[in-house]
Amino acid sequence: MGGRSYAAEEPPGHALGVTLADLIGAPLWGALLAEGHRRAHRAGDVLLRQGDPGTHALALACGVVKVTYAERDGTVRVLAFRGAGDVVGEAAVARGGAARLATVEAISACAVAVVEKDRFRRFVERHALSPVLHEHALTRLGESDRARAGRGGSCERVAQALLALVAAMGEAAAAAGSGVELAVTRSDLAQYLGVSRNTVSARLHEIGAGVVGAGRKCIIVHDLAGLRSFARGGPRNV
């Protein structure tokens, strides 16, 4: 059950940290994408659900997702964001289709390659990728810890996080035009940065509505150049 060729679709780099595509290289990443069938998602769609069996993994061709974990008391924690060039759902597949430990939700328009469990496991075995996947998992844990370890909730940190999400969208960001909408809340961003929601709200207000706008369930980037200026520690260029 192969899909279209993805070999020409290169990942956007290290916007959200080292991706699986970075580790295995573009040719092998393209081969992995070709193992599955293409599926499109809109922002807000649930791609994988905590507790469901691990019947397949998803390789992100473009777009950004958030990974969340629901506690027994109903509290939902944001664990990470993942962008183009990464794989989600592979841990449950590697455990023979065990229950998924987290939910994955699109925060932008996404295109994924759905790689069924047996095909994914054969691909990993054929290319001796188990050590790479293990290294990738450890690297991701370190990146998540560092994202929360920054000092305070400065405008720079908030701007840098938003720029990383936009950059990680890949071709989805280009298709969005001048206003890039992310189905991510101020609470999501606060958890990711390890600060309070009020801190994120205050920093977004300082950055200004002309640069970023925040709704109840989304953040819209209106001015990428202005946001880059804040990410460098300076005011918006006017």
The residue ranges of DSSP E strands in the chain, in sequence order, are 37-41, 46-48, 56-62, 65-70, 76-82, 87-88, 103-106, 110-116, 180-182, 212-214, 219-221
Dump pLDDT digits (tens) for 176-225: 656 888 999 999 999 888 889 999 999 999 999 999 999 889 999 999 89
CA distance 166 to 163: 5
- Numbered ranges of CATH 2.60.120.10 in the chain: 20-148
Q: Looking at the predicted structure, is the pLDDT value of residue 13 above 80?
A: no
Identity of residue 120: F
Residue 65's beta-bridge partner residues? 82, 106
Report angle CA 86, 155, 195 to the nearest 5 degrees: 70
Contact 61, 19 (CB under 8 A): no
Q: How far is the C-alpha of 27 from the C-alpha of 219, rounded, in Å?
A: 34
Residue 194's pLDDT is what? 84
Instruction: For residue 32, give both structure tokens.
Output: 């992995």
Predicted confidence band of residue 122 (pLDDT cuts 50, 70, 90): very high
Confidence check: pLDDT of 6 > 80:
no
Q: Which fold has domain 20-148?
A: Jelly Rolls (2.60.120)
How confident is residue 5, by pLDDT bands cut at 50, 70 and 90?
very low
Lowest mean pLDDT among 51-65, 110-124, 131-145, 207-221: 131-145
Q: Give the pLDDT of residue 233.
A: 82
Rounded distance, CA 27 to CA 40, Å? 22
108 or 140, which is more confident: 108
Q: Which of 143, 220, 145 is closest to 182 using CA atoms?
A: 220
| pTM as predicted | 0.84
Average pLDDT over residues 17-38: 95
Using CA atoms, how far apart are residues 163 and 18, in angstroms rounded to an integer?
A: 16
For residue 51, the tally of other CB atoms under 10 A from its CB is 10
Give the pLDDT band (50/70/90) at residue 11: very low
Please report, as a single letter, which amino acid is at residue 151: R
pLDDT band (50, 70, 90) for residue 15: low
> 155-231: which CATH number, 3.30.56.10, 3.90.79.10, 3.30.420.10, 1.10.10.10?
1.10.10.10
**Higher-confidence residue: 56 or 150?**
56
* CATH 1.10.10.10-classified regions of the chain: 155-231
Indicate the helix (H) or strand (E) that contains 130.
helix 130-148
